[in-house]
Amino acid sequence: MKKALLIYLMLGTILTGCTVESNPSTATLKETNKQSAESNTTASESKVDWAAQINEVSGSTDLTETEKADRIEGVARKYAKTVSETELQEFETYVLSEHKNKRYLKDIKNDQYMLTNIFKSVVIEKHYEDSEQLPIDKFALDFYQNTKYTYRGEDAVNSDSVKSNEQQMNKALEQIK
């Protein structure tokens, strides 16, 4: 909605600029309005209260685990564009700790816990460029896949695919140290 409004504002500014001669004060005012609209969009995107959204989705009784996971993944994909370095580091420390302590698949029926793990791992994975081939990026992807597929009931905790992902996570962990 905000992007559409911004596009209409920009399109209107361009069309007006092509058809009407403006004095410098009008042009300055239009540029200020444009910058203000852009900063408001960025500010609202970065102020996403992801924890509240996880609480809301996890408490929903009319959504399946797949629908819940998909919604939180969507929130995480958007959030990854605006996450601070400090918070990203906190997320990385968290997912590494959950794996090292073998907790991340212990309670796959706990919606809030599993959705939090999905959110944090997707933010990490989407924040980094795949071309960089960073170990934390690889680790987060495997952590996410195991979390998502066990939560949705598609994989058992002791399945071959989960074990394979955990081997890859352990390799990435060695590179992170």
Q: Tell me the mean pLDDT in the region 119-147.
A: 94
The dihedral formed by the CA atoms of 67, 72, 78 and 84, expressed in degrees to the nearest 10: -170
Predicted TM-score of the model (pTM): 0.73
Residue 36's pLDDT is: 42
pLDDT band at 138 (very low <50, low <70, confident <90, very high): very high
Residues 141, 167: contact at Cβ < 8 Å?
Answer: no
Residue 65 — left, alpha, or beta (φ > 0 → left; ψ -120 to 50 → alpha)?
alpha
Helix intervals (H) in the chain: 2-19, 24-46, 50-58, 65-79, 85-100, 111-127, 135-151, 160-176
pLDDT single digits (tens) 33-63:
444 444 444 444 445 699 999 999 999 999 9
Q: Tell me the mean pLDDT in the region 124-153.
A: 94
pLDDT single digits (tens) 58-81:
999 999 999 999 999 999 999 999
pLDDT single digits (tens) 76-112:
999 999 999 999 999 999 999 999 999 999 999 999 9
Residue 118 C-beta-side C-alpha neighbours within 13 Å: 30
Residue 103's pLDDT is: 96
Tokens (6 digits) for 39: 């900063």
Q: How far apart are CA 132 and CA 175, in angstroms?
A: 14
For 92, other C-beta atoms within 10 Å of its C-beta total: 19
Residue 77 C-beta-side C-alpha neighbours within 13 Å: 6
